[in-house]
Structure 1
Amino acid sequence: MDNKTDVQINNIVTNSDNKLFRKINWKILPIIWFCFILNYLDKSNISFAQLEMKQHLGFNDVVFGLAASALYIGLILFEVPSNIILSKVGIRKTILRIMILWGSCTVAMCFVTTPELFYILRFLTGVFEAGFAPGILYYLSLWYPDNRRAQAVAIFYTATSVARIIAGPLAASLMTGLDGLWGLRGWQWLFIGEGLPCLLFAVLAYYILSDSPDQAKWLTNQEKQRVQELVNKDGKVEHHFEKRHLIELISDVRIWICGLIGFLILQATLGLTFWQPALLKTLGLTIKEIGWYSSIPALCGVIASIIIARHSDATGERCWHFVITAFIGALGLFLANISIHSIWLTLACLTITWIGIASAYALTWAMPGQVLVGKHAATGYAILTVMQGCAGIIGPIVIAYLKTSSGNYSSSLYFMGGSCVMAAILCIVFYRMRTVSSRKQLS
Structure 2
Amino acid sequence: MNTAALATADSRSPDISTDASARDDAALFRKITWRLMPLLCACYVLNYLDRTNVGYAQLQMKDQLGFSDAVFGLGAGIFFIGYAVFEIPSNLMLAKIGVRATLLRIMGLWGLASAAMMFATTPTQFYVLRFLIGVFEAGFAPGVLFYLTLWFPSHRRAQATALFFMAFGAAPIVAGPIAGLTMTYLDGVLSLRGWQWLFLLEGLPSVLLGVAAFCWLSNSPSQAAWLSAAEKQRVARLLAEDQAAHGAAGRHTFGAAMRDGRVWLIGFMSFLIILGIYALSFWQPTILKSMGLSVLQIGFYSVIPALAGIAANIVVGRHSDRRKERRWHFALSAVVGAAGLALTTLFMHNAVAAVLCLSLAAMGISAAFTVLWAVPGNFMSKSAAAAGIALISTIGGSAGLVAPMMVGWLKTLTGSFTPSLYVLSGALVLSALLMLAALPASALGRARH
Question: Same fold by TM (over 0.5)?
Answer: yes
Identical columns (%): 45
CA contact (8 A) 1:234 1:373 kept: no
Query: Structure 1 residue aligned with 2:264, among 256, 262, 271?
Result: 256
Query: Structure 2 residue aligned with 1:228, among 236, 256, 264?
Result: 236
CA-to-aligned-CA distance 1:385-412 (integer Å, 9 cap, x gap): 1011110111111111111111000101
| Distance (whole Å) between structure 2 residues aligned to residue 78 and residue 189 of structure 1 | 29
CA-to-aligned-CA distance 1:26-61 (integer Å, 9 cap, x gap): 100000100000001011101000000111000011
What residue number does 2:83 align with?
Answer: 75
CA contact (8 A) 2:100 2:214 kept: yes
| Distance (whole Å) between structure 1 residues aligned to residue 344 and residue 392 of structure 2 | 30
CA contact (8 A) 2:377 2:385 kept: no
Give the letter aligned to residue 146 of structure 2: Y
Q: Does 1:316 align with 2:329?
A: no
Alpha-carbon distance, 1:364 to partner:
1.2
CA-to-aligned-CA distance 1:133-175 (integer Å, 9 cap, x gap): 1110111000000000000001000011110111110101111
Alpha-carbon distance, 1:233 to partner:
1.6
**3-state SS of the aligned residue for 2:346?**
coil
Query: Structure 1 residue aligned with 2:289, among 281, 285, 289?
Result: 281
What residue number does 1:20 align with?
Answer: 28
Give the letter aligned to residue 183 of structure 1: S
Query: Structure 1, unaligned stretches of length 5 or more?
Result: 237-242
CA contact (8 A) 2:378 2:445 kept: no
What residue number does 1:391 align with?
Answer: 399
| Distance (whole Å) between structure 1 residues aligned to residue 265 and residue 143 of structure 2 | 21
**Cα distance change of structure 1 residues 399 and 348 upon mapping to structure 2, 3 Å threshold:** same
Alpha-carbon distance, 1:3 to partner:
4.2
| Distance (whole Å) between structure 2 residues aligned to residue 10 and residue 315 of structure 1 | 20
CA contact (8 A) 2:342 2:421 kept: yes
| Distance (whole Å) between structure 1 residues aligned to residue 323 and residue 304 of structure 2 | 29
| Distance (whole Å) between structure 1 residues aligned to residue 435 and residue 185 of structure 2 | 45
CA-to-aligned-CA distance 1:191-249 (integer Å, 9 cap, x gap): 0010011011111111110000000000000000001111112328xxxxxx9822221
Alpha-carbon distance, 1:434 to partner:
2.0
What residue number does 2:368 align with?
Answer: 360
**3-state SS of the aligned residue for 1:341?**
coil
Per the normalisation by structure 2, the TM-score is 0.94
Give the CA RMSD over aligned residues.
1.5
| Distance (whole Å) between structure 2 residues aligned to residue 51 and residue 402 of structure 1 | 19
What residue number does 1:134 align with?
Answer: 142
| Distance (whole Å) between structure 2 residues aligned to residue 399 and residue 245 of structure 1 | 38
Give the letter aligned to residue 193 of structure 1: L
Alpha-carbon distance, 1:298 to partner:
0.6
Query: Structure 2 residue aligned with 1:53, among 50, 57, 61?
Result: 61
Alpha-carbon distance, 1:284 to partner:
0.4
| Distance (whole Å) between structure 1 residues aligned to residue 277 and residue 444 of structure 2 | 32
| Distance (whole Å) between structure 2 residues aligned to residue 275 and residue 201 of structure 1 | 28
What residue number does 2:278 align with?
Answer: 270
**Cα distance change of structure 1 residues 244 and 16 upon mapping to structure 2, 3 Å threshold:** closer
Q: Does 1:170 align with 2:200?
A: no
**3-state SS of the aligned residue for 1:338?**
helix
Count of equivalent residues: 434
Query: Structure 2 residue aligned with 1:117, among 107, 125, 132?
Result: 125
Give the letter aligned to residue 159 of structure 1: A
**3-state SS of the aligned residue for 1:233?**
helix
Q: Does 1:344 align with 2:346?
A: no
| Distance (whole Å) between structure 1 residues aligned to residue 280 and residue 126 of structure 2 | 21
**Higher mean C-alpha displacement, 35-44 vs 367-376:** 367-376
| Distance (whole Å) between structure 1 residues aligned to residue 445 and residue 107 of structure 2 | 43
Over alpha carbons, which structure has the higher Rg?
A: 2
Per the normalisation by structure 1, the TM-score is 0.96
Query: Structure 2 residue aligned with 1:192, among 157, 181, 200?
Result: 200
Alpha-carbon distance, 1:375 to partner:
3.4
